Chains A and B, each alone.
Chain A
């Protein structure tokens, strides 16, 4: 487990060198065939893109409108290409709703930002004795480890911190990047490979000595993380982070804002075999002035982004392999406050899922005429993640064991939502 520039670096540059140097015709054909095959394999790999709405979005104004109710607010519903109505300020999204479904009966009981964020990411309520892995870390653990060709982290979080890998260990922590695609400090400080190797060899001696002094896990995981970082520094796959590679039309379609750029980067990453990408869009904590802020600021960017991503994935034949999830830590109060805001509300709200072979175009569950109570069955985050797990081909029902020996079920023991399973 010597730390050094990977041996297979030559392999990575092999194809490129071949095409430029020893260019006989048969070799060229052989090479492009190989490249095509590798790309095809990656395209068929399953992935999940989580659109995380930090702050808690007012889903009553987006996905579950209540015209005629005192709680209804200013927006009107419009019909869509699916069998659901959504906000008039999501017109582009309306044209792709045949691919997405709304779960309108989330009831999650945690209305504090920290607790809600934890619960929605992990399917478990916070508990002092164990740190549960965020779902992206589970996917990294289950799928990332199988993808030997993947040289960049299996769990990327764009523009937000996501959550902790918990007992799965730092190797499955989210790789947190900015939506601008510049991975800070990723250029090796010494251009000379021999010199980098000299540094890493010296590092290895010191690190190994410290690991052998038997002080617990931290020294060992430090070494593992460095190995991943060196891998990443020298990988061609870093190109996936750079959205400048896309044509202007595509970039315009996604929108030139953090969320749009993040989604475009997410598409490039899943194409490259990254199984879980989280894209953060903050600013939903709308304690006052909710309607102008939605109409003028948040919804245009959201609408553009969702529509562009869904369309783009579909056109590339990827939508059946990539699960889309849209959620925040909770919804917001149906009652409109004196400052024309909505406060935190976890009792009745919506999340959106689609792609990955799941059934689109429908609403699962319902709330009453004022949006205050759930009618019929309600769902927990574990049910959403169990549905995603099934779509990704993860072992639903798997039981993990925390370091202390506590059994923990995948997705908190949630059940896949039948209406969504194709």
Chain B
């Protein structure tokens, strides 16, 4: 049965018909005020229906009622930001709102999963997760991006992708996967950082504290286990090549590579009492031959990416939780990468079920996203309803997904969205490489390093003052509101449309919706009364780009 699903699901027609009964979606202006809930996503997609059942059950158990369906405006903006990483263009919004097709949401999901923006967005997300925004020394961002572009472009199974990231060897531009470990092995720390990062990122478990002591809350996580994991990484060495540069007459950095060594036997570590202990390679009790002939990282990659008897499917659970968290703002655990008996799972059965389906469907990331985006919960508005105020995970309550949670845009989402809103992508540089470098440079202004050798970093693009100053006064906004020829503001202003139509188009291009009555009257008065119309329009555009609604995904 499950194998049948694999062949069935990716067909667009099937998915489109899945949602035929979602009658309400056909009306672009139907939205708020739907108090009573009726099932809207049934149909032949078994997994989507199972998600809906589990989510609904939790609503009943907690006595909450879901929020109304999101309006098409709210939804079309959200699904673009979530899947392709930027807001929709005004043309896309207008045609979506006008579309009377009952399955238009399902169809749009398919279109976006096929869009080049999908590959670009997820390449950005996973490059940042693996090597950070500030590329560590002697790590190739280009190589890492190339690896993920291929992975997402071809929808490679996630377990294959992780197998490569853990086991890869070679040149940092030719074998892009090596950059994950290169970035974690910038100092000679016996691969402690690599151990902690790999388990956290791919298995959703945070065992970094167990390098020094047993986990305080999870009895199963012992200090010995950290070092057993760690011993898998100890056959690894980086080589940073240098070469002679004729122009300067000096030796300069050349390529770096990751190579295997013939390390064998145990690793040594000190316990809290100051006694030395030994650890041999072992994956949750599955022992691996510690001899020289064993390729330890290949063994670890195999153990991590296949389901081990009597063990939870760590890899699948971690990815399902992370992707769910990407779309809803909260995963089944908070944070998404700290799963363990100490951290309550909001929907344990649903998590297990989705992890199993993910595995059975060949670890297909697109399939996982397709299920999530087609689920009933993903269609809801972010406004509270009368009876779900309890559902506010930002204040510490477990998420019930009875409404969409508001997410702050990432810096990349803002940058790319500004390009869309201002048509700068159409007017600006045609050179992709140069555009990418410009974007990278702009992003660097928000990165704050922590001063460790582990290259950990924070961002000031976090809703604090530096971000608002950048939005109010920064070059990016200044350029955006310049009515330069070819730009969006220019095209709006040079049309013969009425002021009201122009105002409406500026709202659609930024917030993907038409203005409310209050907004329209304020804006049109401002423009009418202004001595300089161009300035008034610029000020309106400035306000639209600076407002709370623009900077969030809701």
Contact = CB atoms under 8 A, between A and B. Distances in A.
The 4 tightest CB contacts between A and B, nearest first, are A282-B451, A54-B451, A404-B396, A161-B458
Contacts of B216: 125
A173 B462 contact: yes
A161 B448 contact: yes
Interface in A14-70: 53-56
Contact of B187 (A202, A233, A287): A287
A218 B460 contact: no
B383 A214 contact: yes
Contacts, number: 215
Interface in A250-295: 280-285, 287-288
A244 B464 CA distance: 26
A344 B208 CA distance: 12
Given A218-B548, A222-B551, A189 B478 contact: yes
Interface stretch (A74-82, A141-149, A180-188, A374-382): A180-188
Contacts of A233: 469, 472-473
Interface in A366-422: 372, 402-404, 406
Which has the most chain A C-beta neighbours within 10 Å: B189, B272, B548?
Answer: B548
Contacts of A343: 189
A216 B392 contact: yes
B539 A199 contact: yes
A353 to B, nearest CB: 21
Contacts of A113: 450, 452, 454, 456
Given A205-B519, A404-B397, A175 B468 contact: no
Nearest to B523: A202
Given A114-B208, A217-B394, A222 B548 contact: yes
A403 B462 CA distance: 20
Contacts of A203: 542-543, 546-547
A341 interface: yes
A279 to B, nearest CB: 12
A206 B547 contact: yes
B212 A111 contact: yes
B395 interface: yes
A215 interface: yes
A187 B460 contact: no
Give chain A's interface residue range (CB within 8 Å of chain B): 35 or more
B335 interface: yes
Contacts of B396: 129-130, 402-404, 406
B159 to A, nearest CB: 26
B540 interface: yes
Contacts of B208: 112, 114-115
Given A115-B209, A206-B549, A211-B548, A225 B464 contact: yes
A112 B470 CA distance: 33
Nearest to B520: A205
A341 B188 contact: yes
A390 to B, nearest CB: 29
Contacts of A225: 463-465, 468
A198 interface: yes
A34 B536 CA distance: 42
A285 B187 contact: yes
Contacts of A211: 548
Nearest to A198: B539
B384 A222 contact: no
Contact of B526 (A160, A202, A222, A229): A202
A2 interface: no
Interface in B278-329: none
B89 interface: no
B237 to A, nearest CB: 14
Contacts of A222: 463, 468, 548, 551-552
Given A222-B463, A225-B465, A233-B473, 8 more contacts: A112-B196, A115-B209, A185-B470, A189-B472, A189-B473, A216-B405, A229-B469, A282-B451
A175 B465 CA distance: 7
Contact of B451 (A173, A201, A210, A281): A281
Contact of B518 (A55, A200, A209, A232): A209
Contacts of B544: 206
A215 B407 CA distance: 11
A161 B382 contact: no
B453 interface: yes
A228 interface: yes
B452 A175 contact: no
A110 B209 contact: yes
Give chain B's interface residue range (CB within 8 Å of chain A): 35 or more
Interface in A143-201: 153, 160-161, 170, 173-177, 183-189, 195, 198-201
Contacts of B211: 111-112
A213 interface: yes
10 contacts: A112-B196, A115-B208, A173-B463, A198-B536, A213-B383, A214-B383, A222-B551, A223-B548, A225-B465, A344-B212
Given A128-B338, A175-B464, A216-B405, A284 B522 contact: no
B448 A229 contact: no
Contacts of A104: none
B94 to A, nearest CB: 20
A176 B460 contact: yes
Nearest to A219: B548
Nearest to A192: B535
A199 B542 contact: yes
A218 B548 CA distance: 8
A200 B384 CA distance: 27
Interface string B394-430: 1111000000011010000000000000000000000
Which has the most chain B C-beta neighbours within 10 Å: A111, A128, A343?
Answer: A128
Contacts of A128: 333-335, 338, 342-343
Contacts of B274: 372
A1 B416 CA distance: 32
Interface in B444-496: 445, 448-454, 456-458, 460, 462-466, 468-470, 472-474, 477-478
B56 interface: no
A18 B468 CA distance: 33
B519 A280 contact: no
Given A206-B519, A341-B188, A282 B405 contact: no
B65 to A, nearest CB: 15
A346 B548 contact: no
A89 interface: no
A153 B213 CA distance: 39
A207 interface: yes
B547 A207 contact: yes
B539 A288 contact: no
A92 interface: no
A228 B333 CA distance: 33
A209 B519 contact: yes
A282 B449 contact: yes
B452 A202 contact: no
Contacts of A213: 383
Contacts of A216: 382, 384, 392, 394, 405-406
B457 to A, nearest CB: 8
B516 interface: yes
B343 A206 contact: no
A132 interface: no
B552 A184 contact: no
A4 interface: no
A221 interface: yes
A226 to B, nearest CB: 5
Interface string B194-217: 001000000000001101110010
Contacts of A283: 451
A114 B337 CA distance: 14
B80 interface: no
Contact of A218 (B406, B470, B477, B543): B406
A203 to B, nearest CB: 4
B445 A285 contact: no
Given A114-B208, A175-B465, A109 B519 contact: no
